[in-house]
Amino acid sequence: MTVTATFARDFPTERDSGCPFDPPAEYTELRAQEGTASLACPVGVEARVVSRYADVRAMLGDPNLSSHAAPSTHVVAGGLLDRPVAPGSLLNMDGPGHARLRRLLTPEFTVKRIQAMRPYIQGLVDDHLDALLARTGPVDLVRDFALPIPSLVICELLGVDYADRDRFQEQTAVLIGTNSDPAALEQANLEVVGFMTQLVLTKLAAPGDDLLGRLIVRARESGQELSVEELVTLGITLLIAGHETTANMIGLSTLALLRQPDQLAALRADPGLAGTAVDEMLRYLSIVQFGVLRQATGDVTIGDETIKAGEWLVAALSAGNRDESVFPDPDRIDLKREATAHLAFGYGIHQCLGQQLARVELQEVFARLHQRIPTLRLAVPFEDIEFKNDALVYGVRALPVTWDGENR
């Protein structure tokens, strides 16, 4: 059956200021209606917005949907939907080219390899908590805790000098903003590419025992040697994705839990809840806030609806994660909820390669932060917190916190 889009209006990008943790209210309406709505996106095209959980999974698992304009070009005003896909651009590639890169990278993100990093990550979390507790507060939990931990982890993985992180984080913020100044965007891109090119050339000359070094060796030994451009693009993708998403999750989830004292009390009482808590917060917050963009390369079926070749679709991840048919009472945090089937990491062949690493980092934070600082609280009124409404990855810009004297 073919269903005509029921109405056309602007793609929702604004959250309810009364509850900044919830996705736009329009998603609830979209899930309830028949078919998919065709909405006008800031980039200047109309796209079908897929908002029901089952439909989002079906969409992201369909090989006839191209990710060439991924991940969220639809909300970047003036974005280039038809820009050529750069060699090594894992997020934008389809078919055999994507499969080749994914195969080469997968050994670096196995459960066994990531679990082997857990002691290192535990040490980082405790070291940063020690540094916080040595101060009298208030402190910015984003700057002093949420950002440096995932930055150190991904730098360790890639073999990047951690001393370079501050400038890199500044440029990353520009690159993932939806309203960045074009000149600033170009300059940020030049700096990041230049930085990564130098790193790649160093690794090619003498591959070390780090992700980039092992990747270079693995590709050579398999007869699939990677070009400098491929390695640069892969390195930038991993460096940005590896710290930006996890850092924002640490800050935003801490704030959300501080607003839910019953759930926070349960986590403090039982650090073993960290496993389910992480997936529940990933579901609840869905920080890839505008979803992911795809284009049909052939006719596809989503639910009872036929989508024609050439049409654009947006998988609204946050809408699917609030689908009440899958997650009862979805607008409530329940840290005991088994939410591992959430869509925060996407689905299908482009599902986040580093999801196990993100889980381990978040588990160690959840299991340690609130146990060691049980009186953690906001140092400013909640209304003063500034949210990243104009970024592809949602979070808070700063999180001033303080605590009482009894800590561990």
Among 175, 127, 121, which Cα is nearest to 356's?
Answer: 121
Return the SS3 of 143.
helix
Question: Which of 119-123, 384-388, 389-393 shows the lowest per-residue confidence on average (mean pLDDT)?
Answer: 389-393
CA torsion sign, 11 to 39 to 24 to 275? negative
Residue 159 banded pLDDT, cuts 50, 70, 90 = confident
Q: Which phi and psi (to 5°) does residue 88 adopt?
A: 90, 0
Q: In the predicted model, is pLDDT for residue 162 greater than 80?
A: no
How many other C-beta atoms are found inside a 10 Å radius of the C-beta of residue 226?
A: 23
Kindly list the distances between the CA atom of residue 40 and the CA atoms of 7, 314, 320, in Å, as whole numbers in the listed order. Answer: 10, 11, 20
In order of 23, 235, 347, the CA distances from 251 in angstroms are 17, 25, 24
Top-confidence residue, 34 or 111? 111
Q: CA distances (Å), 320 to each of 18, 219, 226, 349, in order?
A: 21, 37, 36, 18
Which of 16-30, 31-45, 54-68, 77-91 is least confident? 77-91
Higher pLDDT, 173 or 61: 61
Mind listing the domains of the chain with CATH numbers? 26-402 (1.10.630.10)
Distance between CA atoms of residues 363 and 276, nearest Å: 9
Q: Are 61 and 285 in contact (CB under 8 A)?
A: no
pTM greater than the 0.75 cutoff: yes
Omega of the bond leading into 374 within 30 degrees of 0 (cis): no
Q: Mean pLDDT over all residues of the chain?
A: 89
Residue pointed to by tokens 């607008």 = 331
Of 10-19, 24-33, 360-369, give the range with the top mean pLDDT: 360-369
288 has pLDDT over 50: yes
Which of these, 247, 258, 256, lies nearest to 373 by C-alpha position?
A: 258
Predicted local confidence at residue 398, as pLDDT: 96
Region 17-26 average pLDDT: 89
Name which of 19, 314, 357 is nearest 157 in CA terms: 357
Q: Each residue of 54-87: pLDDT tens digit?
A: 999 999 999 999 999 888 888 886 666 778 888 9
pLDDT score of 274 more than 60: yes
Between strands 46-50 and 312-315, the pairing is parallel
Q: What is the pLDDT of residues 302-317, one digit of tens each?
A: 988 999 999 999 999 9
Q: Say how far apart CA 13 and CA 32 lie, in whole Å.
A: 19
Q: Is 163 helix (H, G, I), strand (E, B) or coil?
A: helix
pLDDT for 379 beyond 60 = yes
Whether 291 and 343 have beta carbons less than 8 Å apart is answered as no
Pairwise CA distance, residues 382 & 284, whole Å: 19
Matching residue, tokens 């340690």: 368
Of 326, 357, 335, 330, nearest to 279 by C-alpha is: 335
Spatial neighbors of 216 by CB under 8 A, at least 6 apart, are: 203, 204, 207, 226, 231
Average of per-residue pLDDT across 324-349: 96
Give yes or no for a contact between 393 and 245, defined as CB atoms under 8 angstroms apart: yes
Q: Give the model's pLDDT for residue 399.
A: 98
Proportion of the chain above pLDDT 70, given as a percent: 92
- Burial label, 111 (beta-carbon count in 10 A; 0-12, 13-18, 19+): exposed
